Chains A and B, each alone.
Chain A
């Protein structure tokens, strides 16, 4: 695949718009959350999901759109057209091209030319994998986590004081008391698996070794807050949406940013349950200190743990971390004010309207961009005093590349019957290409023999646009047009 082929793939609608929308909306949300200090952690975490959701929306919009467009741009036979002032009749698909496909075949061709491109297939893989991931997390996460992480459920007479405290806190939060488990891991860690009534809060043995009772209760409250906040579903959704855009590095950053906000939100809720709110900060500081002295776990263990558990006190370091930096977290805990703690109706409306705005913008821009090529063609033709044909009048199907071509104009070229078609199209018209116009000729360009002349159909398209693959020569200004 040459440079042009790579550009073609990059600018396939599925791929291009899914990447662009994620980038633009992520930057937008980042700026919004940075400068609007009144937005609470919960709102922030939800807003960060919007950039992740946009690629999914783009894919869901483009998939039917390609089919709808194909139906709209029906194959038509030109019938009678004016050529140089005289009327002449010729079929749309001339003698040099195969007969036109049926309408169904055409719709299929239009759809597959984008869906089954390399980048289109990558997007579909992301979509399917994301859906399967979400499904497996909801259906089998609990079972897999227990099997992989070897969680042992505590009996009612083990750590009775902790179980009593947790039951009390669960009651305060209005959730069912979770099951409690332990893992043999010597690294201090706590995490939650499952959701709702089936949730299990798991402590590592390492955690019992380093924390005081008060600190253990604080960590337990943090995990209870995750259950109350439905973070299992949040993480599953966030990870599934990241999987949809697995080819976009920014999706991982957006996902980790969303989950960091969620951690802060759980911290906020946890300290409401604590008699001594500083215990959570003390516990986090102890955990961070202890981790530094222990050998690091393998990447595979780290990855699988992060994948399986809804929340883990242990975390990856850096930009892809699902947890905020300790100092940020401690600052957040100590700076909590009652007014910031609660989710209000204002937040609900804010998330609703901002999400709606971003999604509507994405859909609108998607639709607008699809027609940009057509408008560009019309503008170009107008600015060059050329007369372009209606965009939906002439449609072609390039059997060589499998691409669908919407021809927007036609020009007649003298032809003596012996010339090489490739040279014939290239020589007189290639010089007309300019920086902002993508011009390429090929042997299978669309042309129709009219005895001593051929009619060449062409497309004017922005350079490197998503429709750059539509190949056709461009006519020089002043060349006679069909219209």
Chain B
């Protein structure tokens, strides 16, 4: 797993739960399925068969979803020779926690870039600190945000 790569996602879905905040519903399902799979790397067929148990899905939909996840750098793939001929096998480019951390950092970074002090205030307001501690934290955050800019 390489950490040098950055996962590619361009939207944040306010209504999406967990991974669906960063990815489409099927993309999130595929990623969850791959992270949860005992066997890696996996083929499209294996993920399709795993997802088919709970959802009415088409194979080609899963195939194009995995292809898209590869283009977004969330999955890596290579060609493997096997019983069925030559086929792609996929594996996650990031561990789940690593992806989540990276995604949250991306979103925060974007918010800070755009809204700076407002973000710092929001973060401080959301903590359980007393007033003095909040003020100290706010100062520290604003300093860091200004430095970053």
Binding site for B on A (CB under 8 A): 148-150, 152, 154-155, 157-159, 182-187, 189, 204-206, 294-295, 297-298, 301, 304-305
Interface string of B56-75 (1 = CB under 8 A from A): 00111101000000000000
**Is the pair B86, A183 in contact by a Cβ cutoff of 8 Å?**
no
A289 to chain B, nearest CB (A): 16
Q: Given A152-B45, A184-B43, do A301 and B59 touch, yes or no (CB 8 Å)?
A: no
Interface residues on B, range: 10 to 19
Residues from 69 to 84 in B contacting A, C-beta threshold 8 Å: 79, 81, 83-84
**Is the pair B83, A301 in contact by a Cβ cutoff of 8 Å?**
yes
Q: Given A154-B58, A158-B58, do A205 and B63 touch, yes or no (CB 8 Å)?
A: yes
Instruction: Point out the residues of chain A lying under 8 angstroms from B61, CB to CB.
Output: 158
Instruction: Point out the residues of chain A lying under 8 angstroms from B87, CB to CB.
Output: 184-186, 205
**Is the pair B60, A186 in contact by a Cβ cutoff of 8 Å?**
no
**Is the pair A204, B58 in contact by a Cβ cutoff of 8 Å?**
no
B22 to chain A, nearest CB (A): 27
CA distance A304 to B59 in the complex (A): 24
Q: Looking at the complex, which one of B43, B58, B86 makes contact with A155 (CB distance below 8 Å)?
A: B58
Chain B interface mostly helix, strand, loop or mixed? mixed
A292 to chain B, nearest CB (A): 14
CA distance A305 to B86 in the complex (A): 13
CA distance A205 to B77 in the complex (A): 16
**Is the pair A295, B86 in contact by a Cβ cutoff of 8 Å?**
yes
**Is the pair B85, A183 in contact by a Cβ cutoff of 8 Å?**
yes
CA distance A205 to B45 in the complex (A): 12
**Is the pair B84, A185 in contact by a Cβ cutoff of 8 Å?**
yes
A223 to chain B, nearest CB (A): 17
Given A157-B58, A158-B59, A186-B86, 6 extra CB contacts under 8 A: A152-B59, A185-B84, A185-B86, A186-B88, A187-B85, A295-B81
In chain A, what residue has the closest Cβ to B57? A155
CA distance A159 to B88 in the complex (A): 21
Q: B44 interface residue, CB < 8 Å from A? A: yes
Instruction: Point out the residues of chain A lying under 8 angstroms from B79, CB to CB.
Output: 186, 295
Instruction: Point out the residues of chain B lying under 8 angstroms from A157, CB to CB.
Output: 58
Interface string of B16-53 (1 = CB under 8 A from A): 00000000000000000000000000011100100000
In chain B, what residue has the closest Cβ to A305? B85
CA distance A122 to B22 in the complex (A): 67
Q: Given A184-B43, A186-B79, A205-B63, do A149 and B58 touch, yes or no (CB 8 Å)?
A: no
**Among B61, B63, B83, B85: residue with most chain A CB under 10 A:** B85
CA distance A182 to B60 in the complex (A): 9
In chain A, what residue has the closest Cβ to B60? A158
A189 to chain B, nearest CB (A): 7
Q: Looking at the complex, which one of A155, A158, A182, A297 makes contact with B85 (CB distance below 8 Å)?
A: A297
CA distance A177 to B58 in the complex (A): 20
Instruction: Point out the residues of chain A lying under 8 angstroms from B81, CB to CB.
Output: 295, 297-298, 301
In chain B, what residue has the closest Cβ to A314? B85
CA distance A184 to B44 in the complex (A): 8
**Among B43, B79, B84: residue with most chain A CB under 10 A:** B84
In chain A, what residue has the closest Cβ to B59? A152
CA distance A187 to B83 in the complex (A): 13
**Is the pair B60, A159 in contact by a Cβ cutoff of 8 Å?**
yes
**Is the pair A189, B59 in contact by a Cβ cutoff of 8 Å?**
no
A401 to chain B, nearest CB (A): 49
> What are 28 A-B residue pairs whose CB atoms fall within 8 Å in the complex?
A149-B84, A150-B84, A154-B59, A154-B60, A158-B58, A158-B59, A159-B60, A182-B59, A182-B60, A184-B44, A184-B84, A184-B85, A184-B87, A185-B84, A185-B85, A185-B86, A186-B79, A186-B85, A187-B86, A204-B85, A205-B87, A206-B86, A295-B86, A297-B86, A298-B81, A301-B83, A301-B84, A301-B85
B77 to chain A, nearest CB (A): 11
B105 to chain A, nearest CB (A): 35
Instruction: Point out the residues of chain A lying under 8 angstroms from B43, CB to CB.
Output: 184
CA distance A154 to B61 in the complex (A): 11
CA distance A189 to B85 in the complex (A): 10
B84 to chain A, nearest CB (A): 5
A305 to chain B, nearest CB (A): 8
Which 8 residue pairs are nearest across A and B when measured between Cβ atoms? A185-B85, A184-B87, A186-B86, A152-B59, A158-B58, A158-B60, A155-B58, A150-B84
Instruction: Point out the residues of chain B lying under 8 angstroms from A294, CB to CB.
Output: 86
Instruction: Point out the residues of chain A lying under 8 angstroms from B84, CB to CB.
Output: 149-150, 183-185, 301
CA distance A186 to B44 in the complex (A): 12
